[in-house]
Amino acid sequence: MDSHRTIARCAGIAGLFAGVLMSAPLMAEQQNTPEQQNTPEQQDTAGQPAASQSDQSNPHANVPLVPDSPTWNSFHGQLNAQKYSPLDQINVDNVGQLEKVWEVHTGDISDGKGDTPATVWSATPVFANDTLYIGTPFYKLIAYDPATGKEKWRFDTQSSREALTQPVLKNRGVAYWEADNPVEGESCQKIVYMGTMDAQLFAIDADTGKPCQNFADNGVLNVDQWNTINPKFPLSLLQPPTIVGDHVIFGWAGKDWAYEEAPAGTVFSVNARTGEREWTFEALPEDVRAKSGTANVWTQMSADEKNGLIYLPVSSPSPNYWGGNRKEDIPLGTSTTALDINTGKVVWSRQWVHHDLWDYDINSAPTLMDITVDGKEIPALVQATKQGFLFVVNRLTGEDVWPIEERPVPQGDGSVEGEVYSPTQPFPTRPAPLLDQSKKPAIWGLADAVGFGQCSRLWDKLTYEGMYTPPTTRGEGALAYPDSAGGVQWGGVAFDPVSQTAIVNTSHIVQTIKLYNREDYKKADNGSGNESGFAPQEGAPYGMRLNVARNWLGMPCWEPPFGELVAIDMHTGDVKWRKPVGASQQFGFFMPERWGSPTIGGPAVTAGGVVFIGASMDAKARAYSLDTGEELWEDQTEAPVVANPAVYEYKGRQYVAFVAGGNTILKDQVGDQIAVYALPEDKK
């Protein structure tokens, strides 16, 4: 599900710094239903890409992986999720001269202290139709002049501001579509789409801001009408759809930490013009859906239009931390799964966590790239994960680029009844893990001293047998590293196709996981916060508790850095450079930048050799050298920039836009600011 799990709003990672500091490819059985029931004959059992089956019907067979012209018309800039711009007006030599050329405040902001939940705004702006489009956490769509920020139109969905499935009001923006052959004089030849927490998908004319009457019910599609299995909560649409051709494809988010039985994580494709359902995808086998749930897609997807494939990052089944109700093989859970865009049929799938007991959802769009390894050109895909792994496979077949090994993992301490454990888990041999989870993280001496040995005592009470130590009822629980928020979050991997350099930001957080039987859980439960606290897993024999490992003053018990930016040479899988990113900050105190910051959000990279990123607790927009990792520029924003930046060109001037919305996982600082930067007019 989505990464938030909470009932009561409180600091998640922010709590780290309270006190003194701030104080083998699977050819999966097809499970699609119902409009496009696929027969066995339709399944490509030879593992060939979907395009080989449907070249004649694929109008995008000649679409290159990297667009010929600069675009930023989708959540990650392009469907390949490279977050790459070929623009080079802003480069390493002049990026230090960037100036803020306009900013706006949408007015849609809440700190959660009143009747309205806090806002969490991770929307990357979309540049299309000579306009900058954005969605807000109050579920409004806004169109801006890209050079001045002057508002062109605004549409209010009038959606509920209740925290139905998330503890916050969350929005990650909009998606854009336009007709290949527009009909002159007709409306809705260009459409902006946005979903809401109450499962309504809106289609709005991109020119006028008015609902598209031919789409579903006068411009609104009620997605929850298809929520027929365990409809315990609405299928919240917090991530914008992925638009491929005339297909509008989307998953949904909810709260799989709350129930053993939850909605099944169906992915839908609907027609861009009408909203008519075209196909559905189910990651859960049919006999599991009634007793488990989720394995949904709550984050962005990517697509290879030329080869007719869309790639799904699939989350874990429910509940998150006990799997005695789902002992069957669920091969598409916690996976990257490639589907035929036109039919939704599975082409290949790779599971990255077997029998997931750690909430290690696959949480970011796979980044598609053409790389040269040992002199051979490979159509590749990089899947970043919460574990801090980068799995690299052939995107047409799912086969390894560098070997991915199944290695034995811990089998539990016998304290959890009804549980089963996978004997092995997949480990990539290249690139190296983004953080060292091969051993118990070292105790930070400073935090241990300030806590009078509290961290050492905690470490002694935690079960730890290595990566994938299962949850336990004993002691203070099991040590989990990285935490359930992830080494990498939904910002994912950026990629420079010229130098074949991948860029990714990570967080280094240690968490504890403890299970309680029902009687003990009733006594222990005292609420939850983002990525921390108690979760009932109602219906399961165990409730659970997540805690960040810290001392009584809120200092992290493990050694810094707490977050880094990493560059990887994709010819070899070697790390080119890594740097602590940002500064941990709260209550006005900034920690040394060598300690880094936990990060949410991700980077963008340009042909000017520049990496743009926010993501850190100190609420700054930054630029780094792609070649060396040197920090070249920074500017203060209203709140942490927890969205990937957008890079675009309008009338000969190039811009980079940051959305400073904040996220309560990082800290209790929210914003409603869009800050747009460019070179001075005489410098461009």
Catalytic residue numbers read 359
Beta bridge partners of 369: 380
Half-sphere exposure of 359 (CA within 13 A, CB side): 32
d(CA 161, CA 368): 36
Query: Is 460 buried (19+), middle (13-18) or exposed (0-12) by CB count in 10 A?
Result: exposed
Beta bridge partners of 177: 191
- Secondary structure of residue 96 in the 3-state scheme: helix
434, 426 contact by CB (below 8 A): no
- Cβ neighbours around 139 below 10 Å, total: 25
446, 550 contact by CB (below 8 A): no
d(CA 647, CA 77): 8
Beta bridge partners of 507: 563
- Secondary structure of residue 54 in the 3-state scheme: helix
CA distances in angstroms from 584 to 430, 444, 494, 589, 616, listed in the order given: 30, 16, 23, 8, 7
Place of tokens 């980044």: 367
135, 240 contact by CB (below 8 A): yes
N- to C-terminal Cα distance for the chain? Answer: 44
What are the DSSP E strand ranges found in 115-244? 119-121, 126-128, 131-135, 140-144, 151-156, 169-171, 175-178, 190-195, 200-205, 220-222, 242-244
Residue among 367, 425, 368, 426 nearest 402 (CA): 426
201, 192 contact by CB (below 8 A): no
Residue 158 DSSP symbol: -
Write the single-letter amino acid at 179. Answer: A
Place of tokens 């001045």: 148
250, 241 contact by CB (below 8 A): yes
Peptide bond into 431 cis (omega under 30): yes
Residue among 441, 492, 438, 490 nearest 468 (CA): 438
d(CA 273, CA 557): 53
Report residue 97: phi and psi, to 5°: -95, 5
638, 620 contact by CB (below 8 A): no
